[in-house]
Amino acid sequence: MLSVLLLIAAVALFFVGRGRTGGWRIGAALGALGGVLFGVFSCVHVVSAYEVGVPVTFGKVGTPMTSGIQFKSPFTEVTSFSTRPVDLNLYDKDVVEVRSSQGGVLYADVTIKWAVVPAKAVELYRLAGTAEGVQARLVLPDSREIIRNVFAKHTSEEGYASAREQIGAEIAASVKERLAPRGIDVTAVNLRNVKPSDKLQDQIDKKIQQEQATERSLEAARTAKAEAERKRIEAEGIARANKIIERSLSDKVLYNQCLEAYKEAAKANPVYAVPCGTDSNGTPVIVDTGKD
């Protein structure tokens, strides 16, 4: 546009200065030269490496420009999109507040790495206008929505502990599936941290305490049962042993054992009592071994 204005000014100076001194003509010539040079340079556009340009001429979107020197109309404006991966960090003030299937509130820290697909740059320009618009209007809202939807399918305990890897994989798959048709390549989704809210943390602590108390009660019951079983087995063993002894100790055996015991006693005591007697009836007698 500036080159056109310079050309118009040069032509005007030329016609105005036709009947005047040569200075006017020199000025017109310089203005025309400047307009031509500026026009030439305005027709050249350099697209940087790892970028793609979207040309727009009088409101009409053209074919994407790849990196390198490109030629265009002076009236064409080029909007550049970086094709390098960009990190969308959802933490601190941008942390995603989610709810579990049980209604518990959690806070998810997520990093999403995405990049523009060069072949889809025109579609992205129509949808968002700029690279910043792509993140603000497409990547950010869709990612937050998907993160909330995935967490809503899981319990609180799964969200912050047991199923974090599974949840991260589900988020990554859903985000890629949602954004790929729009020309956004999601290369990585990292579920960095999941923190329960203060209220949910209190509920978790109370549940843990209840579980620990229940476990202690069960352990005490198991210990008491085991002790009772041990005593029962011991009592049964004693009873069986007594029955064996009872069957093996007949009256004759007891009589003979008694006699053997008191034979030893007679060696030290000439007179002694034999409680088991000397006959088969076991009548007690007094034996004096000092007599002939």
Residue partners of 63: CB distance under 8 A and separation at least 6: 55, 122
- pLDDT value at residue 186: 94
Residue type, 177: E
Judge contact between 134 and 184, C-beta under 8 A: yes
Question: Using DSSP, how many helices (H) and how many strands (E) does the chain show?
Answer: 9, 11
What pLDDT sits at residue 212? 75
Mean pLDDT by 10 residues, the chain (292 residues): 51 52 53 53 72 85 79 78 91 90 90 92 90 92 95 88 89 94 93 84 70 82 86 84 70 67 66 53 52 50
Return the pLDDT at 161: 83
Which helix (H) or strand (E) segment holds residue 288: the answer is strand 285-288
Q: How confident is the model at residue 232, as a pLDDT?
A: 85
Return the residue matching tokens 């299937």: 101
Helix axis angle for 22-42 and 2-16, nearest 10°, is 160
Q: What is the pLDDT of residue 251?
A: 64
Cβ contact 56:130 at 8 Å: no
Closest to 112 (Cα-Cα) out of 146, 79, 152: 146
Cβ-based neighbour number of residue 54 at 10 Å = 22
Q: Are 7 and 37 in contact (CB under 8 A)?
A: no
* Site of tokens 């809202």: 141
**Segment (H or E) for 232:** helix 198-248
Rounded Cα–Cα distance for residues 11 and 24 (Å): 11
Rg (CA), the chain: 51
